[in-house]
Amino acid sequence: MAEEKLISVIVPVYNIKEYLPRCVASITAQTYRSLEIILVDDGSTDGTGALCDELAASDSRIRVLHKENGGSSSARNLGIRQARGEYFGFVDSDDYISEDMYALLMEAVTAYDCPAAQVGRDEVAASGERLPDICVPPDTPVLIAAQDFMRELLMHRGDCSFCTKLMHRSLFLNRQFPEGVLNEDFHLLIQMLTEMKGIVSLPGRCYHVFYRPDSNTRSTQKSHFSRVYADNVDNADLAYALVQERWPLLIQTAERFGLYQRLDYLLHIPIEQMQPDNARYREICVNVHTNLSAGLKNPLLTKKNKIYLLLFAAAPKLTRKFHRLTMRLRGIEA
């Protein structure tokens, strides 16, 4: 029976006392009861670690692992190594889930004989306002073939988050989340796709993201340049290599993705960092210039993308200044 399969829900935890009780309560309230809930305290300094221990005392399914601070991927990887379940789920400690999420996911992987399934998500701002959908779930359950799922990711329409998914533990054999980088979910998922028939996608929105402006990729400091932009370029190069080997029909889509991620980097880098001794910046400029002709011919890039390709290939710093000015005129800091 599906209920007999244990799900390990791994929750990285760091200095999150205010939101952790809501997160854990949403997991313990799941209608699917065969769970182990692994709270990985990643070296919290605000009493969150003690709160984890208190929560564990209230439900025998909760286990707590304490470790030195190493980041979310490090915490997830420790949870994976300690997990006993046949399936793994992941929840971020400031988010929460609907009570039937894991029941629906387990039903899907069983019915479709597939190692992975996902639900839709919504995002809620600190003010309580619901934000626009990042990914739109289907109207009915559907098995998305691995190549098609890869295409959706490369077109920025797919959901790479592990938090919305239930994954069979075999997918993590000799694999882990890369540590010290951002957008680590994309990095790991595209590698897993090479050995999967696909992912079952379910209708509805069962995962609820709480949008905190102070999180890793959401800093509002003017001088801040998140490393996510450089990490996204690295992920684009990895995706291109996998597509070359596994899905050659997606080559043009992967080329579009690589140029798009490089444009995103150039549109966000602070102007003072656009210097000849910045090796990453220099490499990206060379790549844009080298692939300009192919990019202008790529039907998957928009007219706006191609205009920016031309401008950055000709005068990157001037183009960045122009972009910053246009954003400020629209009331957006860039």
**Residues 255, 257, 263, 266: what is their CA dihedral angle, to the nearest 10 degrees?**
-110
Averaged pLDDT for residues 262-277: 96
Q: How far apart are CA 14 and CA 127, in angstroms?
A: 22
Of 119 and 333, the structure prediction assigns the larger pLDDT to 119
pLDDT value at position 1?
A: 43
% residues pLDDT > 70 (the chain): 94
**Residues 161, 162, 168, 173: what is their CA dihedral angle, to the nearest 10 degrees?**
100
C-beta of residue 288 within 8 angstroms of C-beta of residue 312: yes
Residue 213 predicted with pLDDT over 70: no
pLDDT value at position 215?
A: 56
pLDDT value at position 131?
A: 76
Residue 218 predicted with pLDDT over 90: no
Of 12 and 135, the structure prediction assigns the larger pLDDT to 12
Confidence of residue 223 (pLDDT cuts 50, 70, 90): low
C-beta of residue 89 within 8 angstroms of C-beta of residue 102: yes
Place of tokens 């919290």: 44
For residue 205, the SS3 value is: strand
Q: List pLDDT tens digits, range 283-305.
A: 999 999 999 999 999 999 999 99
Q: List pLDDT tens digits, range 2-52.
A: 458 999 999 999 999 999 999 999 999 999 999 999 999 999 999 999 999
Total Cβ atoms within 10 A of residue 279: 8
Pairing of strands 87-90, 7-13: parallel
Confidence of residue 216 (pLDDT cuts 50, 70, 90): very low
Q: State both tokens at 331.
A: 């009331």
pLDDT value at position 159?
A: 96
Q: Average per-residue pLDDT in the chain?
A: 93
Residue 224 predicted with pLDDT over 90: no
